[in-house]
Structure 1
């Protein structure tokens, strides 16, 4: 991946501030990447012929999209003046996340930038939040920008799972580490790598013989996870002080680590599950992101459809 093409999702409901564009512009200035601005529109009043006949309805849609392009051009102008290559695109259709993914399949960007907001569990269960859908189904690395924290652009944290406890393909960890190393090099950021594991709690061990051997179990579990991390990370030019083994549930330990290190960008892998599993369990990336205050870069395994 050469990091030459970025896709920025512009929020038409927020004309005053576009955090995703600010982040992508910062990225492009560091890497000389090109940017495409994409706005997706849909309004039921312009669909189905409720208020207009066919030709008038299409004319109204075209007029709306043309106005959006003009707006995107005003956003692009100062970036072009700085020497950044910027193109613009407006699409009509629903659902929005599918429009984004279809356009990504056409453009084939290296990273998609989109602003993210915290949303409650009810909205997640109803599947009406674009960010959650993109986390699940977007095949392109997805950079979710948090606008509620000042961006320093100094530190990257990458969460790995070398024992694949979350059923992640082994190759996904290599994608995460490779991306982190490349971003750290191109963006001038410091990177650290963490693995969080949760051993069986003592309170769940009831057999007397097992209780007596519990401390030995903890030591062996830690050694196993440490060995797996070492085997993975030693394949890359990563210093020992940049490697962290955390004991506890990832949704607790990872946010604590990012806060302690003042992380700007957290890189995580995510895999798609069935809708029912997402409702009942969710993915680790989703649960962690709910508890962090930094940007999140979500990377999926190869072959996602």
Structure 2
């Protein structure tokens, strides 16, 4: 059995969840995991209609939740037919992302799966801010799934960076590679590894002595990246010379979508590093910046020991 034993699936009762459920069933059956289908719901219209009758409002809320539970039961039937253990849960929560994060903290899943539209929104219930909150704060590996389904042979790649701006970049790369290796084993896929680096542009160098030896400087930078990559990959039986390993020059949020399209990749596993508020406002994380152009699903992994910065149980 794999290390994935509890899968939490965030669903929208208004969405067509067919491709999301197909992924869930495939992963659960192959890994032996149980599945929890979950919705965080709220109706402003219902609240307005019963503004002055609290008892009637509570009764209406109960009916609304029961209706969503019935939809989840219908979605669970194909999974149960595959002998997959399925649970259902619905939260009535005004702030939807808080409901999702509270469920994650309580359920402690090994994997969270949520839909992602081409507009970068996790289901129609979510705003872009909610999607970013999930990416930044979800402590479990987070699989953001696009509308298109997986092919029979899932192309899988791990994006690593030994120069992550975090205290232990190698530990984060190990977490990414371990997760990618686990998913490859579950899905019967070959794990590819990709690393992108952004070389210093010629125009940004102001030391005339360095400028005269620009090519040597670039060669030195590339060599340092290659050596670091070799060190990280050695425990996995891979290295720079392996056909599964690619080094790309350019900014990650620009070159990784092209790589995923070219290979092709159906699932890209990446590490996420927390940034300060000002840096997030100015640029966002690499993960967030490439969502709009990435043609495949994204599996976001946090560093070992990551703790959600917000306590949603308060």
Same fold per TM (> 0.5)?
yes
Secondary structure of 1:109's counterpart equals coil
- The counterpart of 1:260, out of the listed 255, 259, 262, is 262
Aligned counterparts of 1:40 and 1:291: Cα–Cα separation in 2: 28
TM alignment of 1:173-252, pairs within 5 A: 173-238=173-238, 240-252=242-254
Aligned counterparts of 1:168 and 1:157: Cα–Cα separation in 2: 24
Aligned counterparts of 1:178 and 1:4: Cα–Cα separation in 2: 16
Aligned counterparts of 2:38 and 2:8: Cα–Cα separation in 1: 7
> Are 1:142 and 1:297, in contact at CA under 8 Å, matched by a contact in 2?
yes
Secondary structure of 2:243's counterpart equals helix
1:247-274 deviations in whole A, cap 9, x for unaligned?
1111122112111111010011112334
Q: 1:195 to 1:277 in 2, by over 3 A?
A: same
* Match in the other structure for 1:288: 290
* Match in the other structure for 1:167: 166
Q: 1:149 to 1:187 in 2, by over 3 A?
A: closer
1:155-185 deviations in whole A, cap 9, x for unaligned?
1111111122x33632211100111111111
* Match in the other structure for 1:303: 306
Task: Tell which deviates more after alignment, 129-138 or 41-50.
Answer: 41-50
Q: 1:44 to 1:272 in 2, by over 3 A?
A: farther
* Match in the other structure for 1:5: 6
- 1:118 CA displacement: 2.9
Aligned counterparts of 2:278 and 2:148: Cα–Cα separation in 1: 31
Secondary structure of 1:7's counterpart equals strand
Q: Which runs of 4+ in 1 moved over 6 A?
A: none
* Match in the other structure for 2:131: 131
1:183-219 deviations in whole A, cap 9, x for unaligned?
1112101111111111111122244321111111111
- 1:54 CA displacement: 1.8
Aligned counterparts of 1:128 and 1:80: Cα–Cα separation in 2: 33
Gaps of 5+ in 2: 309-314
Q: 1:25 to 1:99 in 2, by over 3 A?
A: same
* Match in the other structure for 1:40: 40
> Are 2:139 and 2:302, in contact at CA under 8 Å, matched by a contact in 1?
yes
Q: 1:133 to 1:152 in 2, by over 3 A?
A: farther
Aligned counterparts of 1:129 and 1:163: Cα–Cα separation in 2: 27
Secondary structure of 1:193's counterpart equals strand
Aligned counterparts of 1:220 and 1:230: Cα–Cα separation in 2: 15
Aligned counterparts of 1:36 and 1:168: Cα–Cα separation in 2: 34
TM alignment of 1:44-123, pairs within 5 A: 44-47=44-47, 51-119=51-119
1:79-121 deviations in whole A, cap 9, x for unaligned?
1112111111111113212211111111111111111013379
Gaps of 5+ in 1: none
| TM-score normalised according to structure 1 size | 0.91
Aligned counterparts of 1:266 and 1:120: Cα–Cα separation in 2: 16
Secondary structure of 1:290's counterpart equals coil
* Match in the other structure for 2:146: 146
> Are 2:142 and 2:301, in contact at CA under 8 Å, matched by a contact in 1?
yes
Q: 1:127 to 1:71 in 2, by over 3 A?
A: closer
- 1:278 CA displacement: 1.8
Task: Tell which deviates more after alignment, 2-11 or 128-137.
Answer: 128-137
Aligned counterparts of 2:51 and 2:167: Cα–Cα separation in 1: 49
